[in-house]
Each structure stands twice: as structure tokens, then as C-alpha cells.
Amino acid sequence: MCGIAGIYDFENGRDIEQECLQAMIEQLNHRGPDGTGIKSFDNVGLAHARLSIIDLITGDQPIHNEDQSIWTVFNGEIFNFIELRESLENKGHIFSTQSDTEVIVHLYEEYGDDFVSQLNGQFAIALYDIKNNRLLLIRDRVGIAPLFYTQKDSELFFASEVKSLLAATKTPPELNHNALDQIFSFWAPVSPQTMFKDVFEVSPGQMLIIENGEVKKSRYWDWEFPQDESYLTGSDDDLAEELKELLVDATRVRLRSDVPVGAYLSGGLDSSTIVSLIHNYTDNPLRTFSIGFDEASFDETNHQNTLIKKFNTKHSYLKCANSDISDEFVDTIWHTESPILRTAPVPMKKLSGLVKENNYKVVLTGEGADEVLGGYDIFKEAKIRQFWAKNPDSKFRPALLKRLYPYLDMSQGAYLKAFFGQGLDKPGHFSFSHLTRWSSTSKCKEFFSEETKQKINTNAFDEMSKTLPEAFDSWHYFNQAQYIEAKSLMGGYLLCSQGDRMLMTNSIEGRFPFLDHRLIEFANKLHPKTKMRVLNEKFLLKKAMKSDLPDSIVGRHKQPYRAPNIPAFFNENTNTYVRELLSPKKLAEYGYFDEKKVERLVKKIEKGRAIGNKDNMALVGILSTQVWHYLFVENFYNTFS
């Protein structure tokens, strides 16, 4: 992964300022520490910060075609570039580098805008067609590589991170109150919104076409599911074998690199699958990295050790203490560029630092398996609640939740029905699968100030519903839940705040075999019961990997990745910035939260009575929003201009 930036001036004949491009790309040095490249034309400028992975010698960007009429800067990897290059050379195209980037300009020559459908990769692409004065901004199918844009006067600015845009526009940023409302609903803004007013992201699977004084949006890919029960047929064994073949190939092509490639190992099924595939089906040296915690409920070290012993992997391990989370939280928000409701990104930042310390630049990870193959408890919960909705007065059906959450006190029937029974009268509503999570998260909004509430002029749920495809209502409810999960939490948070940003802060590229679009398209054609058999999550993946992994890994109860929240900030060594940013003075000055309500929350925390989910989310959300304002609104131009 690298960093890209650029400018398109709608007023032809005005040269792009080199100093502006330089200022933009300097903000992305952490994404590309191996060199920068800048190229300007009559009304377009392109800039690139390089992290050298493929073609270390001749792969500098921007890169052009044979007659220099098409130029590109590119962040990401094209995993099938070898096959694409061979095909293009057979058609007469002449290459001047060994880089995967160069296939982009030749594919565009050959196929026009449709070229993107041939790419297997993760990417943010800016492609400039000089002859037609046409700029394309393209983001990969699922949203691994970030890409943002904004307009000021006659110019459109784009970049891999918002801080690069701020360096160009020199306009003090403002908080987007609607996006804040969405973060406190779904954990992430609804694409294309961002926390910055008038700054937007190129949505996953989308292409922006800038020409003739206009900006047009075109969707070239989306998650699609059968509308007519036309699922893949075949035995479980046959489908499991097909899934495994796809996974093996998705892993192999993601090992293509001119630098060593490692893998994250959490001890869960997903990362263990990737490590197993590398060990059993490739010649790549097996190098793994993991993280642990002092608190047993968060720590998976024993499961990690099971895999390390089985595969004899060369392994590096890091333990994350509560103080680490507090100490590195401000820098984490500098990189997320967005408030977060959990501290989980901070340990992932430390883990990528461990990779860097060991002189690795690339790691494979297991992200996407739960979304693609049906692994989350929220999918199980939706199944139970759909069954319950058919007989909402049943006393037996809500008891099924005990199988999902064994720790629930089933004697609290009134509470269970009030919480899990939300929306039972509308099981066909788009929000049904996620209603319990969203309503729980939304309780944190009680800390919003009256000023914030007044500035929120959209309904978060309505904004989410507007993004759903026309075919959504015709899909199986399980597939609806998968779509929402992929488009909200995965795309907006897991791949962004917890993924790309925490990897790239240490100049590490993450690769995700489970998010190979071929695998997604295959899985989307599977009947839901093949992904989740009764309440057995990722049924087909477990079947596919049963012979390669220990039973203790395949059969273990799913443990979601978590990190300490409140205990990381309030302890015997509470950091000064926590007290300052949560003080009534700063809360009133920034204006986002009700200082009296936050003060009561802090006192509750100090008395040790804030142990619930809402209190933890609220504390992290409030603090991270305050940090965001401090970094970007109050101090960006003082420190970085």
C-alpha cells in the first residue's frame, strides 16, 4: 500500500502548483517512506508516496503508457498482474517496468472504463487520460484502500487520507454532525460521508469520473445475492472443496511480492486458516505475528501457541498493556482521522509496529471471513429473532438465546424481550438483523449536547436505508444481514480505522485472502444454511479446513477480538490529556457533548460502577471525538502547516 494525492482544476489553462502537491504528499510519508513522485499537467497534478513491494527498481510512480497519454498513481496491489501483463503483451502493449501498476494504464487503453472489472486486488487508483482531459478515481470492491476527495472553488482535491486534503485546501476543517450521529449509530459514517464537513470518500466498488466540468459516479461492483432461491447446488463436501481451492489460490496470489510476506495469527479460525494454507499449499516461509493482553478474557495466547507448535512457525509476540492503549490513543486518532467507539485499533497499531521491527512490509490477515462466510453472533441472533418473530408471544423461542449467550440470566424475561425483542413486529424491515446492536450503540447519543442535536439534520437509519440496492428486499434475511455488515462495520471501521490506518501508520501492507472478489461471489451464491448450519457459524469453512487444523481451533467458540476500554484510561496513572479533554471547560469549548452528563459518567467510572457496554462505548467515543477536534480542528494548521 502507498499514498496518492492530486488535484483537478476545472478551469483549464491554470498550472497546478508543485508546492501544493508536495505539501499534500508529505502528509502521507508514513504510507510511502521509500520515495515520492510528482507530475503536473495543464490542469491536473498527480503525487505518489511509495512503499516498495513489487518491482523495487523501476516501479516508481506516476507511471504512463507507451505514448505518455495516460498516467496513473496507484495505492494497493494488483494480484493478477502477471496474467494481465501476459495478455496485454500478446495484444501488442509494450511495458517499460516490471510493476503491477503498469497494467492499469495498458488495460485502460485496451478496455476503457471496463478495465477495472479485470483487476483482482485492493486499490485506490487515480488515472488521467490527457487526450480527453479525463480523471478517474477508483476504489477497490470492498473498501480496503482509502480514497477521499473534496472541492474548493474550481479545484477538486483527492488523497489517500484527509490530512493530505487539509494541507492543500488550507481551510480549517469542521465536524460533520450527521457523520458523528452515524458513528454513534453504526460505528462508522454512512459512505460517502466522513467526519469532515464537505469531505467525501470514494465508496467501495465505485468510480468517480471527472470530465467536462462534471463529477459523475459509477458503481462497477457490489455484493449481490440470489433473488430467486437459485443457490449453488452440490454436496457439502463438494462445496467445501471448491471453497478451499478458491482460498488456496487467493492466498497464493497474495504472496506475490519482491519483499518477505508474513501473517497475523490471532488463534481464531480465520487467521489460523490463512497460516495453514501458507504452510500446506505454498513454498513461502512461514513467519507469523500476534498480540496478547494481560486480561484473560481478551487474550488468545494459548490458541496461538497451538498453531505455532503445529506449524513450527517462526513467531513474534507482543503483549499490550492498558497503559499502552492510553499512551498511544492520541496518535491512533491522528491516523484513524475519525472517532472510534472501541480501543481495539490501538493494539493493532502496536502489532503492525512489531512487524516493522522485524523488517517485514507485508502481512496476510483473516479479515472478511465472518462477513463473507457467516461468522458473527449478530447473524445467529438474527436467525433466532426471525424465528421468534413468527410467534412473538412464545416463551420457548427467546430461550434459544441461551444457546447463543450462555451467560444470560433467563429469569430476566422482561428485559430480554425488551432488548432482543425489538422490531419483532417488523421482521422484514431492513434494520431487523442489526437493530439490537444499533439501538445499543445509539444510547451513547444521550451525551450529545443540545447544540449537536440541533445540527444533526438527517436520520442515521434513513441515510443507511438510502444506500441499499434495489434488490435488497428480495434477498434472504441472512444475506441482507451480510450486506449491511459488509457495508457498515466492515467497510467503515474494520478495514479502515482498525485495518488500513493501523497498518499504514507503520508502513505495513495488509492483504486479505477472504476478501478476494472471486471468493465473495462464490460465497454469496451459497444457501445461508451452508454458511451457518443451525447456529454453527462458518459451517462450510470449518468443513473445508477440518483436515488441516486442530480440532481445538475448528471447534472453539468464536471469540471476537477486543481490547480494554475504560480500564485503559482510568487507573492509578490516568494520562493528563484524558482529564483535560474530558474537563467541563474543554467539553463546553468544543461543544459536541453535554459537560454535565459527561462529568457524571466520569464520576461513575471513578467509583468503579461503569462496567456496562454503553459506558465503555460512550467513554471511548466521547474521548476520541475530543481528541479528533484537538488534532484536526484546533491544532492542525498550527502544527503541520
CA distance linking residue 107 with residue 114, whole number of Å: 9
Say which of 2, 20, 320, 496 is annotated catalytic: 2
Distance between CA atoms of residues 46 and 3, nearest Å = 11
Report the distance separating Cα 176 and Cα 472, nearest Å. Answer: 28
Answer yes or no: are the C-beta atoms of 280 and 313 closer than 8 Å.
Answer: no
Of 167, 214, 501, nearest to 338 by C-alpha is 501
Find out whether 83 and 289 touch, Cβ atoms under 8 Å: no
- What's the Cα-to-Cα distance from 90 to each of 8, 54, 318, 392, 420, rounded to whole Å? 34, 22, 48, 63, 59
Element holding 157 (H helix, E strand): strand 155-159
- 302-307, long-range: CB within 8 Å, 24+ apart, which pairs? 302/267, 303/266, 303/267, 303/268, 303/272, 303/552, 303/553, 303/556, 304/265, 304/266, 304/267, 306/267, 306/550, 306/552, 306/553, 307/265, 307/267, 307/272, 307/275, 307/276, 307/550, 307/553
How would you label 606-617 residue by residue, b for 16+ Cβ within 10 Å and e otherwise? eeeebeeebbbb
How deeply is 151 buried, as exposed, middle or buried, from its count of CB atoms within 10 A (0-12, 13-18, 19+)? middle
Cell of 284: 513461502
Instruction: Name which of 138, 85, 124 is nearest 107 in CA terms.
Output: 85
Known catalytic membership, residue 2: yes
What's the CA gap between 336 and 188, in Å, rounded? 11
CB 160 within 8 A of CB 31: yes
Cβ neighbours of 384 (radius 10 Å): 18
C-alpha 157: how far from chain center: 22
End-to-end CA gap in the chain: 25
Give the residue numbers annotated as catalytic, written as ranges. Answer: 2
